[in-house]
Structure 1
Amino acid sequence: MNPFYVIVKPLLSEKSNQVREQENKYTFIIRKEASKEDVKKAISAMWNIDVLAVRTLIQRGKFKRRGSKYAQTSNTKKAVVTLAEGVKLPIFEDQ
């Protein structure tokens, strides 16, 4: 799988920023069909960084009200990538 196709976008939230600063773990939104190995290869290919571990989870969509009807937003898949101590990803350091 193309490494630029695997990762949709980085996830920037209070919780992900706190985990990134304390434990050196980075959170990304990824494609639903991507595996842990695909994410590991994509991070290594894009930034030439060794990845220690990848954990994935599927976040269920929320029910939203649209007028008198309820609809469900689509599910998303997240990946939490653990890097070695002292290694930083440049895209997160610009903020």
Structure 2
Amino acid sequence: MKAEPKHYDVLRAPVITEKSTLGSEHENTQVTFKVATDATKPAIKEAVEAIYGVKVEAVNTLILKGKQKRFRGIRGRRPDVKKAIVTLAKGQSIDVTTVGA
């Protein structure tokens, strides 16, 4: 499957945190991505398979609600972010630390 521009609209960026790297140490490798808020699980699966050339077993999503913050007395709000935890098939892997570098 060839990666199309719409696939790059679905996947925004990989999430590289201590918690997300623990997911990559599982038997079935897990990779976490920030995705578009209107992205569906089948669209995320299709995008990951097209861009990285791997087989996806499962996609779990969550929406991180934005916090209320103050900056110099002015109230603001961080945007909501949707994340996708992608479980890859056995033997498959994605090294997100070197992608795009």
How does the TM-score come out when normalised to structure 2?
A: 0.84
How far the C-alpha of 1:91 sits from its partner, in A, is 3.2
Say which SS state the counterpart of residue 42 (structure 2) adopts: helix
For 1:91 and 1:29, how far apart are their aligned partners in 2?
12
Unaligned runs of 5+ in 1: none
Report the CA distance between 1:80 and its aligned residue. 0.3
> What amino acid maps onto 2:47 in structure 1?
A
Correspondence for 1:3: 7
Dislocated runs of 4+, deviation >6 Å: none
Q: What is the aligned-residue RMSD (CA, Å)? A: 1.8
* Corresponding position of 1:32: 37
User: Is 1:18 matched up with 2:22?
Assistant: yes
Q: Which residue of 1 aligns with 2:81?
A: 76
Determine whether 1:55 maps to 2:76: no
Compute the TM-score of the two structures, normalised by the length of structure 1.
0.89
Equivalenced residues, count: 94
- Aligned AA for 2:72? G
1:76 Cα deviation (Å)? 0.4
Cα distance in 2, alignment partners of residues 65 and 90 from structure 1: 36
* Distance in 2 of aligned mates of 1:48 and 1:84: 12
Identity between Structure 1 and Structure 2 (%) = 34
Secondary structure of the structure 2 residue equivalent to 1:41: helix
